[in-house]
Structure 1
């Protein structure tokens, strides 16, 4: 992380600490215990700053700090609510300070309940979301499974949990399994045992994989090679025509991630694979329905209208992961989760089969998506 970004992180962390301290903890603890409140908010802030600075050193040391970031973010969110409500009510209530104390205690307790629930929610098995969609010109019904954002090596996803996700996926007996990026989040050699587990994914017509943005933080080329060794077809700015009984039925296309150029500034000597939608579209068989794997939903902004794709599958957003972060996601991405229709295409955003960094989910769920296409 550059010095400039590091300073921004430190300033933001300190501002969050100030908001949590004055908006929530100090009113709740009272003047007598203000040092307890200050110590708690300072500790959360320091651990959160440390995690963000060292976030791409994927190891248990940095992951342990991620919990502090989640706790701080939830307390920060409730502190903003506290500021807003008290700022309005102090003009109308005769005993405003007593109201602030009770309000801060109530919100602090609610924040603690939210934290426990968010931890519990993140540890639950992925929920299966089913979508029944009609694709024009699809001659053979297909049962398609989408997995996204496993973040192998960069989160708390153990081999045992990964095996359970694979078993859960295989039990649905899909015709196709599509992986929409951020599957690997560590150097390939460090997570080879987990990558090898992906070979256990079973689908009638194969497993297909598109790059996410986190694969770019590491040895992207080696990650692709290891994925291919598992019998998984990688789709990087290319199209694959799926055949059933020697008859072409579907275009399966994948595009590289849209953050490639942005990341190359941080890794000037590394070979980067840029997204090339024009090349990908040219390879399509126009007589067949088409599915595009693109990690980021904002791909829709770069497609012509009408879109040449029947269905676009994305991930990246994690459904916001922790409320109210979903509102911030909307600044960068047109959609956060679920199914939409845009430019004559369906676009579906998976909330992430696992989670990234912070072991919490609030207002979102780990997800496996099953599409019944006809």
Structure 2
């Protein structure tokens, strides 16, 4: 974490120093230099408050917006200008054109980031995927599952429009089963209250099944005692049950079609530290026959390689958690630098993992990694 904050400091400070030295140093007045540095100073102030455990959602969102919409375009300008200066080393008369190109690239980057913060997080999409499942009972060929993940209700400040759009879109798909793979809230159970009625309207013949994600354990809520945190978790579970959802807490359900049975197991969060591990896969798989085709809901895809693959009858694992870092270009996301499984389908032998990049995030921002409803057809 310390190294992460050092990198952020460099991202904020070095571009300002470069721009100040090369473009504002010789100009009259200190006001322009101060205005140049003001967004960085504000972002540093927000970061300092966050480090001091001031967990206001608006503070985190302001810090993120300043970083993504101001600091990143500045960095693009600096990198483009340095590269341009190197290319034009022997042609100093070309420097004005270099500055123009660098400015255009920075403005373009700023425009993209503003789009991501203002509109991208609302760009809800349905993605269709067909998965060929080893040992799938014949009666479940063509079985349709909608997966949603990481809705992070606290991000929307009571605005119900995205959730209403999501519910309407899912119900129009007429799935056989709806699953939610964790992270309903950011920090507190109270975030669910404006959305209980809306999310309770999700319907499918085999219902809605869900598991908890790392945020649902309220570990990011400062000042809670262990007893208060456990009470918050119980309230989140109760909210989902009021919606009519089946919360799978290291347990399983079975779905019957004629003479065939499909098992759905759900495990509490199992994550790479510092993310919490509360899951017990042995308990979740209890009483499932060793030959039965099983679908597992597990929030963190890290769990797949570090526990799930030991159970050969788990044919398909559905996860979320990554958000693709809420940024994606084509098939690439910077999430790939931090996670080996961050989005889409992964296979090892006959076992498969499908990672949804989710609906929301801790801040209202999506660029390329648009919010997704996953419609999965089993074959």
TM-score band w.r.t. shorter chain: 0.7 to 0.9
What is the match of residue 149 of structure 1?
A: 150
Q: How does 1:184-203 map to 2 (within 5 A)?
A: 184-203=185-204
1:153 counterpart SS class: helix
What is the match of residue 256 of structure 2?
A: 243
Whether the 8 Å contact between 1:310 and 1:344 is mirrored in structure 2 is yes
Alpha-carbon distance between aligned partners in 2 of 1:206 and 1:183, rounded to the nearest angstrom: 18
Q: Out of 71-80 and 158-167, give the one that drifted further.
A: 71-80
In the superposition, relative to structure 1, how do residues 311 and 242 fare at CA in structure 2: closer, same or farther (>3 Å)?
A: same
2:154 counterpart SS class: coil
Is 1:316 aligned to 2:321, yes or no?
yes
Q: CA deviation at 1:178?
A: 0.3
Alpha-carbon distance between aligned partners in 2 of 1:79 and 1:308, rounded to the nearest angstrom: 52
1:304 counterpart SS class: helix
In the superposition, relative to structure 1, how do residues 154 and 120 fare at CA in structure 2: closer, same or farther (>3 Å)?
A: closer
2:200 counterpart SS class: helix
What is the match of residue 337 of structure 1?
A: 343
Is 1:180 aligned to 2:201, yes or no?
no
User: What is the aligned-residue RMSD (CA, Å)?
Assistant: 3.2
Q: CA deviation at 1:17?
A: 1.3
Q: How does 1:167-316 map to 2 (within 5 A)?
A: 167-217=168-218, 219-244=232-257, 247-259=259-271, 262=274, 274-302=278-306, 303-304=308-309, 307-316=312-321
Q: TM-score, normalised by structure 2?
A: 0.81
What is the match of residue 365 of structure 1?
A: 370
In the superposition, relative to structure 1, how do residues 92 and 204 fare at CA in structure 2: closer, same or farther (>3 Å)?
A: farther
In the superposition, relative to structure 1, how do residues 180 and 249 fare at CA in structure 2: closer, same or farther (>3 Å)?
A: same
Structure 2 gap ranges (5+)? 220-231
Equivalences, count: 357
Alpha-carbon distance between aligned partners in 1 of 2:369 and 2:157, rounded to the nearest angstrom: 17
1:118 counterpart SS class: helix
Q: CA deviation at 1:130?
A: 0.2
In the superposition, relative to structure 1, how do residues 82 and 165 fare at CA in structure 2: closer, same or farther (>3 Å)?
A: same
Whether the 8 Å contact between 2:11 and 2:75 is mirrored in structure 1 is no
Whether the 8 Å contact between 2:212 and 2:299 is mirrored in structure 1 is yes
Whether the 8 Å contact between 2:74 and 2:106 is mirrored in structure 1 is no
Q: CA deviation at 1:261?
A: 6.9
What is the match of residue 35 of structure 2?
A: 36
Q: CA deviation at 1:364?
A: 1.2
Q: CA deviation at 1:331?
A: 4.2
Alpha-carbon distance between aligned partners in 2 of 1:120 and 1:104, rounded to the nearest angstrom: 24
Q: TM-score, normalised by structure 1?
A: 0.81
TM-superposition CA deviations, 1:271-302 (whole Å, max 9, x none):
xx712223334443333321111111112211
Alpha-carbon distance between aligned partners in 1 of 2:301 and 2:214, rounded to the nearest angstrom: 12
In the superposition, relative to structure 1, how do residues 336 and 84 fare at CA in structure 2: closer, same or farther (>3 Å)?
A: farther
TM-superposition CA deviations, 1:64-99 (whole Å, max 9, x none):
444224324533652574377358536565558546
Is 1:74 aligned to 2:69, yes or no?
no
Structure 1 gap ranges (5+)? 265-272
